[in-house]
Amino acid sequence: MSHDKTAITANQLLAALPEAELARWQDQLEWVDLPLGAVLHESGRRPRHAYFPTTAIVSLLYVMENGASAEIAVVGHEGLVGVPLFMGGESTLSRAVVQSAGQGFRLSSRVLKEEFERSGPVMHLLLRYTQALITQMAQTAVCNRHHSLDQQLCRWLLLSLDRLSGSDLMMTQELIANMLGVRREGVTEAALSLQRAGLIRYARGRIHVLDRGGLERRTCECYAVVRAEYERLLPDRVAT
């Protein structure tokens, strides 16, 4: 089924495809709903599809043997879920879970691999995205080790906001704690601190950001490093 070009290019990676490649992909892309909590792929298994979110946000989680987990990266309209499909690993140690409900497109693993192996612009685009994703993963590890929970929460909120059209996030403190790999009580304290500072308003699982600039000033350098790398590697342009 062929999809409207405007809908497809709501995902920045798809928008960055040259015209010929985008035209070739149109009939292969499948529009899908991505509900909150949906697991797109499990650790240790070979994904059957790659996902290109348009309005959803997906968390990549590392899951320990005891069931504990921590977020290692977040993917939204700037990218895709399924990097191992074209990097040769086939399977991944992370679990991909929808953290903010929305929609997106999916592409079969076979088609994505074939497109990557054509070399040319698709391969170079996907490799640049992979480099940006690796930067986010590395910076997340550094942040979790060296920065306060307050700063980590600010970073997480800003990365999520970059992938949403508005200033509201639907997210319980328990889910945030699972993402950051910390105790819920710590998230409660950090969220209250941000609320007292007038940066957010939090109630009943909804976080409304009141002062984005304040969050940026309060967070560590990790957010700026990640954002700059995405902007450097993945220019926001529509295919021409």
Average pLDDT over residues 142-155: 89
103 shares its domain with 195: no
**240 in a domain, yes or no?**
no
Q: Domain tally for the chain?
A: 2
How far apart CA 154 and CA 158 sit, in angstroms, is: 6
pLDDT at position 67 is 74
Q: Which long-range contacts (CB under 8 A, 24 or more apart) does 173-177 make?
A: 175/99
Q: What is the CATH number of the domain that holds 161?
A: 1.10.10.10
Cα 78 to Cα 51, 67, 119: the distances in Å are: 11, 29, 21
Q: What is the pLDDT of residues 56-95, one digit of tens each?
A: 999 999 887 787 778 899 999 999 999 989 987 677 778 9
- In this structure, the answer to whether residues 15 and 112 fall within a common structural domain is yes
Q: Is residue 236 part of a domain?
A: no
**Do both 103 and 153 map to the same domain?**
no
Q: In terms of residue numbers, what domain contains 16? A: 5-120
Residues 107 and 172 in one domain: no
114 and 162: one domain?
no
Q: Are residues 10 and 48 in the same domain?
A: yes
Distance CA 150, CA 99 (A): 20
My answer on whether 96 and 162 are in the same domain is: no
pTM, rounded to two decimals = 0.88
CATH code: domain of residue 39 = 2.60.120.10
CB 90 within 8 A of CB 50: no
